[in-house]
């Protein structure tokens, strides 16, 4: 749904005590990088690139995604070896290529200046996050929760609840910024306010996200105006 002036006022000045952000797609346009990782992964096994699988992996995260691939494609790889391969490929691309979207860092820092606790909830791996030269998520956020630290992917609310716990905030006091539908639905089930963020990923189900999320924003610029 379009973001009206009254809705904008709930994001700035903030009307919540904690904010939980997704990384890929939401804060950084990284889908082309992960598509390259997926293309390499499939090509090295003689498999055609699977668009649906690529979207599924974004929700499941590393370990669950690797297990899913082993079962779906009847691979002989060990799950741990696939995770290591994805981490290695991802880190190599993230090191120099990833930057935050325009206005994203300014908004996060502005929230912190108002006393809002900010957390990152990402299916990404600490090894990949730590490889980035241009983004230091551990300095920018009060808490960083990676997919490997919780039992389920973003089709379950585990990662958002863990982020809220680390931020010392009840779910009802949290707003979650996401670009994927499963994550938005899970955060809503956890009792959190949801903000869907438009990404450049052509696979993003924007119509469903606009209908599902409490708010929709096209990006980070202009939120502080």
What secondary structure does DSSP assign to the chain, as a single string?
----HHHHHHHTTT-SSEEEE--BTTTB--HHHHHHHHHHHHHTTT----HHHHHHHHHH-HHHHHHHHHHHHT--S-HHHHHHHHHHHHHHHHHHH--PPTTHHHHHHHHHHTT-EEEEEESS-HHHHHT-SS--HHHH-SEEEEGGGSSS-TTSSHHHHHHHHHHT--GGGEEEEESSHHHHHHHHHTT-EEEEE--S-TT--HHHHHHHSSEEES-STTTT-
Q: What is the pLDDT of residue 86?
A: 96
pLDDT value for 4: 44
Q: For each of the chain's 225 residues, which pLDDT tens digit applies? A: 444 444 554 899 999 999 999 999 999 999 999 999 999 999 999 998 888 888 888 888 899 999 999 999 999 999 999 999 999 999 999 999 999 999 999 999 999 999 999 999 999 999 999 999 999 999 999 999 999 999 999 999 999 999 999 999 999 999 999 999 999 999 999 999 999 999 999 989 999 999 999 999 999 999 998
Q: CA 80 to CA 90: how far, in whole Å? A: 15
Q: pLDDT at position 9, please?
A: 47
Please give the pLDDT value at position 52.
Answer: 86
The burial class, CB within 10 Å (0-12 / 13-18 / 19+), for 153 is buried
pLDDT tens column, 169-211: 999 999 999 999 999 999 999 999 999 999 999 989 999 999 9
pLDDT value of position 92 = 96
What confidence score (pLDDT) does residue 59 get? 85
Q: pTM of the prediction?
A: 0.91
CA distance 129 to 114: 26
So what's the pLDDT on residue 7?
A: 52
pLDDT at 57 (0 to 100): 87
Cβ density class 195-220: b for 16+ within 10 Å, e for less: bbbbbebeebeeeebeeebbbbbeeb
């Amino acid at each position: 749904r379009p973001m009206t002036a009254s809705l904008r006022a709930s994001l700035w000045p903030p009307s919540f005590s904690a904010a939980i952000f997704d990384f890929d797609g939401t804060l950084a346009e990284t889908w082309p990088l992960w598509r390259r990782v997926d293309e390499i992964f499939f090509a090295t096994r003689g498999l055609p690139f699977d668009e649906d699988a690529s979207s599924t992996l974004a929700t499941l995260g590393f370990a669950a995604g690797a297990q899913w691939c082993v079962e779906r494609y009847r691979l002989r790889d060990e799950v741990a070896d696939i995770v290591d391969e994805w981490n290695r490929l991802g880190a190599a691309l993230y090191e120099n290529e990833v930057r935050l979207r325009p206005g994203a860092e300014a908004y996060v820092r502005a929230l912190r200046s108002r006393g809002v606790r900010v957390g990152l909830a990402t299916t990404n791996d600490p090894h990949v996050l730590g490889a980035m030269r241009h983004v230091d998520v551990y300095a920018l956020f009060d808490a960083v929760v990676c997919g490997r630290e919780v039992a389920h992917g973003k089709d379950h609310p585990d990662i958002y609840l863990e982020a809220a716990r680390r931020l010392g905030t009840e779910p009802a006091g949290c707003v979650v910024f996401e670009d994927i539908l499963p994550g938005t639905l899970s955060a809503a089930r956890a009792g959190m306010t949801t903000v869907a963020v438009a990404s450049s990923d052509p696979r993003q189900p924007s119509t469903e996200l606009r209908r599902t999320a409490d708010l929709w924003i096209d990006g980070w610029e202009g939120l502080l105006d």
